[in-house]
Amino acid sequence: MDLIAELNDLHVPKTVVRRLCAVGTALGSLSDDEREALNAALLNDKIHHTSLAQVLTNSGMKVSAVGVSRHRRRGESNGCRCPR
């Protein structure tokens, strides 16, 4: 490809498929009531991320404490890319 073609190609928007983080994946696998309870727990800053990760892990989900912490910061520069 020549230089002009490559530069012109930069103007074409690319479709980016963003995968959900482990917490986002877990949320998608839960029932409505469970999802609501998990979202409430995620919003409660008095619940430590390690405790929340342990409960999710005990329920068979592969979620780390770092993943919970990052998901809570979604939308920020150091958070996950799940939609807010």
Tens-place pLDDT, residues 16-75 = 777 889 999 999 999 999 999 999 999 999 999 999 999 999 999 999 999 999 999 998
CB 73 within 8 Å of CB 34: no
**CA–CA distance, 13 with 9 (Å, rounded to integer):** 9
CB 71 within 8 Å of CB 24: yes
- The count of other CB atoms within 10 Å of the CB of residue 46 is 5
**pLDDT at res. 18:** 74
Tell me the pLDDT band of 83, cut-offs 50, 70 and 90.
confident
Locate 5 and state its tokens. 């073609």
**pLDDT at res. 14:** 82
**pLDDT at res. 37:** 97
Tens-place pLDDT, residues 1-19 = 689 999 998 898 887 777 8
More confident residue, 81 or 58: 58
**pLDDT at res. 13:** 85
